[in-house]
Structure 1
């Protein structure tokens, strides 16, 4: 725990109910109570044990917002040096600047903050904090340079279906303030909410396809085929000789897969990039899609396949059928179901590339979040 640039000591260890490293709300509250002062969590310093992104013994760096009033344990030996890839919210000054921007925007909107900021999530892909106001909660979300400016994508989606996206109160590059989105994440339930999102998202994608990529990265099937050889060479040290040979064979097959996808008749369009039920929210009446930071220009089948690993086989089949029916109605003569098979290896290659972008854009202490993810995605593409 640091205060005014000085490392004072440590609190903990303690057990959090959520095993996921980015879910820091409970950690912040417990650390604040233990220190006798409000604290803000800046970044992860180290982890022992656990799996990628969860469990194990995690050491975080926290910034005390007031001098702690309770005794602190001795701090472990840690490096607090500057890192070129450190994200704004991972330093005390940077986080203060993010919060100051949000406070100024809320004041300008006539809904000033009425209580302490509540950190909810913080890691190398985003920082999410809740700002209480008299007009309801507002949410500050900031994303890294390798992410999409979400507010711009939300604006594109809102032209086709304004109710499908959160209300953006203010935005500045890769930081934005959003109005509260009531409800629960659609981790399998409620079923009606999940299915309505599938239909509406397909309709949005069909509507915006003619607009072109704009500022979105080109991750079309043809682009993925072009990018794969360079990625494969980077990952070669992590592959067996047999896996590498199979990957070379996949590279040779990619042009045929690209052609097969094109024959299925669906347009290239805005793709969410991580379109699973945890990024869909439902309040019993309204479904909302969240987290557009991985949006790209690609084939809609990538989004059609993304929910599968998060659902039971029966539920996944139902969602795929709903997705295919929606697209067939939107593009008569197309064959959405047939598109899913050639799209599957391309989806995994897309994620391998994306995970490598994460690793290339974060400081060393954050690498455990994504270590091994690129090669794991490549192996899925080889199945």
Structure 2
């Protein structure tokens, strides 16, 4: 197995002991459903994962041996836990940047809120909460009800208000986005979306998803929701300069910093391509689409901002199966030519290819600035990696604006 885990188990203020290591067949550290299942069987009581404590090996949020802080909701069966020496400071340290769902009291408050809210809506929970994913960017839980499952999502202070973004898209295409049942500060209850994630999307699914999303973005152009993060071209270029000038631990050379600074001049040329500023998903990969055969529903707007929509096409391109990438580009360019005839989306793609990676560097550094030290392994090295990817793509571009335009016209 590529991931193993151990658990340091508490109940309220009491440290109860340690269990593990155990293998799990899902490599991603944030995917805790199999961790919770194994611990329930081992300890004989319901548990919830609070946070990651340590990682030995692995990288990019996967593989290796992971140690979690786990809260037992009841006292485990006798003998289920071992009394091993542990670094108690990792449990006792009260980090100001810790996610609310990374604390036992915060997690209980979140679940109580969801339960009470659903009951008030006439849709009470019919079983225990199912913890699916937890990390510094989100806590995701599946809540059973008599009318089908509901999803509870909690996000950190540096995330976008997803309920507001979903509401904006719903005003122009209600079936494009999930149904929001209720929302609160940095939390939302969402109706279940039937189907599957679209990691293996075929050309028909991609065409339907891209055309629909571009149509919604075009309808929202010039209608910026209040409070939405400003990432227009020149703003984003300035943020990249700030990142490069901060001398944070990027693990890049002075020459790489200088080369990256030169790339920021492209943002002025990108703005001249004429694409309108609009609501940008900013993580528009097929894993954030769900479909049951109908046009995809788009989820996970925690990184959404106001800016140039070219970044969504480039994000999608990077994650799609190689066979359908050309179709995605053709459809996206054609859709924007339809909605903004004076624009040059093909040239925008060619100019923005390295800029997209620089924008990711800004966002990844925001993650690192906003999370506690023990969870930095999720993102450590990401800003430097995408800066190098930007430099590589500028030297070996994957898009030629004339070729892309010719393919669309043909």
1:22-64 CA distance string (max 9 Å, x none) = 1000100101111111111100000000012000000001000
Tell me how far apart the structure 1 counterparts of residues 224 and 240 of structure 2 sit (CA, whole Å): 23
**Cα deviation, residue 228, structure 1:** 1.8
- State how 1:1-383 maps to structure 2 within 5 Å: 1-71=9-79, 72-75=81-84, 76-78=86-88, 79-80=90-91, 81-212=93-224, 214-233=226-245, 234-235=247-248, 238-251=251-264, 254=265, 257-383=266-392
With 101-110 and 329-338 compared, the bigger mean Cα shift is at 329-338
Structure 1 unpaired stretches of 5+: none
TM-score normalized with structure 2 length = 0.90
Quick one: structure 1 residues 191 and 14, their matched pair in 2 at CA, closer, same or farther if it must change by over 3 Å?
A: farther
Q: Secondary structure in 1 aligned to 2:361? A: helix
How far off its partner does 1:323 sit? 0.7
CA distance in structure 2 between the aligned counterparts of 1:297 and 1:349, rounded to whole angstroms: 16
Q: CA deviation at 1:235?
A: 4.3
Q: For 1:4 and 1:352, how far apart are their aligned partners in 2? A: 38
CA RMSD of aligned residues (A): 1.4
Q: How much has 1:361 moved relative to structure 2?
A: 0.4
Task: Kindly state the Cα deviation for residue 70 of structure 1 after the two structures are TM-superposed.
Answer: 4.0
Q: Secondary structure at the match of 1:166?
A: coil
Alpha-carbon shift at residue 299 of structure 1 (Å): 0.3
Asked if 2 retains the 8 angstrom alpha-carbon contact of 1:45 and 1:61, the reply is: yes
What displacement does 1:377 show?
Answer: 1.3
Matches of 2:189 and 2:318, distance apart in 1:
31
Output the TM-score relative to the length of structure 1: 0.96
Cα offset for 1:258?
2.6
- Aligned partners of 1:334, 1:120: CA distance in 2, in Å? 42
In structure 1, how many angstroms separate the alpha carbons of the residues matched to 2:236 and 2:321?
Answer: 29
1:74-118 per-position Cα deviation (integer Å, ceiling 9, x unaligned): 343242121110111001000000000000110001010000100
Task: Identify the range of structure 1 (200-209 vs 184-193) with the bigger mean alpha-carbon deviation.
Answer: 184-193
CA–CA distance in structure 2, aligned partners of residues 232 and 263 of structure 1: 24
Deviation for aligned residue 1:189: 2.5
Query: Cα distance, 1:237 vs. partner?
Result: 5.7
State the 1:236 CA deviation. 6.7
Give 4+ residue runs of structure 1 displaced > 6 Å after superposition: none
